[in-house]
Each structure stands twice: as C-alpha cells, then as structure tokens.
Amino acid sequence: MPDPGAPSEEARPAWDSTALRSDPHADPDKARRVQEMFGAIARRYDLNNRLHSLGRDQAWRRRAVRLAQVGPDDDVLDVACGTGDLSEAFARGGARSVIGVDFTPEMLEVANVKVNHRRWPRDVTRPTYVQGDAMDLQFPDESQDVVSIAFGIRNVTDPAKAVSEFHRVLRPGGRVVILEFCEPGLAPMRLFNGFYCKRIMPLTASLIARDRSGAYQYLPRSIETFSKPEDLAALTAAAGFGEIQQTRMTMGICAITVGHKAAGP
Ligand SMILES: C[S@@+](CC[C@H](N)C(=O)[O-])C[C@H]1O[C@@H](n2cnc3c(N)ncnc32)[C@H](O)[C@@H]1O
C-alpha cells in the first residue's frame, strides 16, 4: 500500500538529499536517475557549463582533441556525447567521421539542433548522433580509431564495462580519451574548489536551469565519491590499454587520460 503522504514518483527529484547522502555511484537506480537528471537540464546545459567553468570547458575539450592526435583518416566515437560539444571539436579537429552516442534523448535533441544551426566549413564532416548505451555499444569490433568520453565516465553505472567496450570497438593502434573532473591536489585549491562546487554552483546553476532534479547537487557529490585519476588510469590499463598518459588541467580540477590499444603483431 503506497504511503499517501509520500511524494509521487513524478514529483520526486532524480537526486534527493537521501540518495546523495550515500555514494551515488553505488545507487542501484543510478542509470535512471542520471538519465532523468540530464533530461531535465539539457536545454541550459551548455550555458551552465560556459558560465560555471568561466569558459574553460571548451578549452579542455580542444585539449582532449589535440591529445587524441586525430587525423584525416580517423573515425571518432564520442561516447556520452551529451549536447555534442566534444563531438563538434573532433569534427573541427579534422576527423574523417564523428559519431556521438548518448542515452538521454533530450541531450541528443540539443546536439542535433546545434549541428544543424552551425556554419560548417566545407572540408569539415559534421558529427552525427545516435542514442545508445556506453556499456553496450552497437558498433562492430575494431571499427573506430578514437573513442572519447568527456564528463561521462563518472555518470556511467559500470565504468570498467564501458572502458572494455571502448577497447573492443577500437582498431589496433586506436586511442581512448577520457576527460573527467577530479579533486585538485593542492589543499588551498581543493578548499576553494570545494566551496565553489558545493555552496555556490548548485544554487546558481539550479537557478539558471530552473532545475528541480538535483543535478547540481549530484555533480560535486559524484566527483568527490568517484575514482581518483590514478584509479581511472588503473581501470584503463585493466581494460587492455597501454602507454597511458594523464594531463591535469586548470589547477587540477580535471584530467585527461589517454590510452593506446596495441598496434597488433
Ligand atoms: C556531463 S554530460 C557530458 C556531455 C558531453 N560529453 C560534454 O562534454 O559536455 C554526461 C552525459 O553522459 C550521458 N550518459 C550517462 N550514462 C550513460 C550511458 N550509460 N550511456 C550513454 N550515455 C550516458 C548522459 O546522458 C549525459 O549526456
């Protein structure tokens, strides 16, 4: 018998304070909550990113493209592509093809609107987008040269399974590029960043997105409870990647992990 005083499933935020008190990555309902939350914030997602990173987020994505050493013969799969900013950066970076995959339809809708409204130079191949799951990619073995994921691996239910999928779909010699937030190593920066991410950003970002899903309360909680960059490097190695390099950016608030699939015999 449902409790008549309890909020209905629809009225309940994707992430409420009870769900965020414990580790959100261990929540058995994480995938549904993540999808619902991105569905709720999709329209203002880019604006919030630009404002709250002071414009740095696009520079981080461009850096990821440079570190992938993408060339004119490279096919790129941008997993958890969201509204397509990294997919677009890969396209402009000269990839032969870019496919963005995400499991939230509202994020893909924004990505498609953007790609259709942009002016694209004639020699650039526009990205295309499909709905799909990072842990079960609908692409053949050894079909891609670069697999990227920006601010997505933290949101996936089973990161190890996703990174194994990335290894499967990469051709020999292919690269995986993982861009993700982390906690700065320097104590003063960690304190400042913690204050900003936990006290200021949740208020301003929720206001801008008119968000009631709890997305911007989940964000700092999901970062502090997620794997450290060194654990992400170990997970990438365990999936079969070698020559793993990590680059920290903006006083250590995010890091790019690059791994290589062996070039073959
Ligand atoms: C923080 S956004 C990042 C979007 C984009 N990569 C960027 O750079 O802004 C995280 C994205 O991961 C997607 N996502 C989370 N889990 C996923 C999964 N299992 N499969 C596909 N997409 C997933 C969400 O729908 C969301 O669009």
Residue whose pair of structure tokens reads 């809708």 in the numeric block? 109
Structural domain includes residue 188: no
Structural domain includes residue 214: no
Q: What residue ranges of the chain have pLDDT lower than 50? A: 1-8
Pocket test for ligand 1, best of 87, 102, 169 (most atoms within 8 A of CB): 102
Find the residues whose C-beta lies inside 6 A of ligand 1. 34-35, 38, 80-82, 85-86, 102-104, 107, 133-135, 150-152, 155-156
Tell me which residue range forms the domain holding 147.
Answer: 29-182+227-260
Question: What number does the ligand 1 atom closest to the CA of 156 have?
Answer: 16
**Number of independent structural domains in the chain:** 1
Q: What angle do CA 106, 110, 24 make, to 5 degrees?
A: 45
Q: What is the pLDDT of residues 127-143, one digit of tens each?
A: 999 999 999 999 999 99
Residue with CA at minimum distance from ligand 1 atom 25: 104
Q: What is the pLDDT of residues 139-170, one digit of tens each?
A: 999 999 999 999 999 999 999 999 999 999 99
Cβ atoms of residues 229 and 182 within 8 Å: yes
Pocket test for ligand 1, best of 53, 155, 161 (most atoms within 8 A of CB): 155
- Extract the tokens encoding 228: 């450290």
Q: What is the CATH number of the domain that holds 158?
A: 3.40.50.150
pLDDT recorded at residue 11: 62
Structural domain includes residue 16: no
DSSP readout, 182-206?
---SSHHHHHHHHHIIIIIHHHHHH
pLDDT recorded at residue 7: 47
Residue whose pair of structure tokens reads 């690059």 in the numeric block? 258
